[in-house]
Structure formats: C-alpha cells, structure tokens
Amino acid sequence: MSEAEKKATPEYTEEELAQMGPVKRWIKTHPNIWEFILFNILSNVSTIARFVVTWIGTAIFVTGMGLTTPFHFLIFNYDEQGNGLGGFLTFLCAEVIAQVVNFFVQMKWVFKSDSSFKDAAWKYAILAVIIVVVNLVLPGYVTGLCQGWGMGAGLAGTVASVVNTLLAVIVSYPLLKFWIMPKNNK
C-alpha cells in the first residue's frame, strides 16, 4: 500500500484492508474518487426525474395544449423553435423537481452530510436558484438551435436537458462538497 493510501484510510489497518474484497478496498483507499463517482451515478436520480418531467411537460404544454406562443421575459428567450411558453413551463417544472430530488439524494446518500437540514437547505436553495435560472435560460436557445438543425421537439428538449445536466454537475459538485453539505460540520 502506498503512503497516500495509508493517509487516506487511517481507520483501517493493513490486515483489515487485506481482508476486504478488491472493490471495497479500492473504495476505502480512494474515498474522494468514490464520492465523485457516487455523486455522478446518484445524480442520475434527479436526471431521470428531469427527463421524465421534460417529456411529460412537452407532451402536455407543447403538444397537448399547444402553448408554443413565444415567451420572452428578462433573460428568458423561448421562441416558437424553443417551444415557446410551453417549453419554458416544461423546463421550469423539470428543474424544480430535479433540484428537490437532488438535494435529498446528495445530502443523504453521497455526502452523508452531518450539516443540519436548515443550514444546508438555504445554501442549496441559492445554488438551485442559480442552476434553475441558467437551466431555464439555456434550453430556449439550445432547443431552438436543435430544431433549426431539423430535430423534433422531443429530441431537442432531450438535448437541452443533457446540456443542463452537464453544466449542473460542473458547478454543483464542489459547492455541495465544500460549502453546502460538508462532513463534520456540527
């Protein structure tokens, strides 16, 4: 075992590590890498929620109700190619649901934070507002671009959701780990 591995796992003796299976031993000797992997895997819970709500919202607001009237407000730009008001409502609902799901998944399963709910919730709310605003601004442009390339509304919405998800991971992981949900914060 290298010196770095010994420092990363001071609570385990070499004998205990030797008795572990290779996967468990790797997890115990690389806790930060494992946490990032877990963050990405379990972020898919909120990603799945985001996609499902995007598909349902597109079916209801765009296809079913025909709410494709262009919607422009402050920084939000949802023209007809961006599915208009229906696109905005779809992404608003998808982002709110995804952020609520993600808060609980990350706090309880990934970071196993001992921060109080009250302390973490207001910080996460700030992060969520930033993510939601960015994720509401971006899809109007991405969806419009994708539809301009000939994609249908459903596929264009899916591409916009993928872009939103990647951006959210890049921004949220360090903020969640070090500011919102740190361990040993009591």
3-class DSSP assignment, residue 146: helix
How large is the average pLDDT for residues 27-45? 90
Residue-level pLDDT at 139 = 80
Euclidean distance between CA atoms 65 and 68, whole angstroms: 9
What's the rounded Cα separation, in Å, for the pair 174 and 165?
15
Higher pLDDT, 54 or 95: 54
pLDDT over 90, % of the chain = 34
Give Cβ neighbours of residue 95 (< 8 Å, ≥ 6 apart): 50, 131, 132, 135, 136, 164
- pLDDT-derived band at 95 (thresholds 50, 70, 90) equals confident
Quick one: pLDDT at residue 185?
47
Strands 71-73 and 76-78: antiparallel
The pLDDT, as a whole number, for residue 88 is 92
Q: Model confidence at 10, in pLDDT bands (50, 70, 90)?
A: low
Question: Which pLDDT score is estimated for 75?
Answer: 81
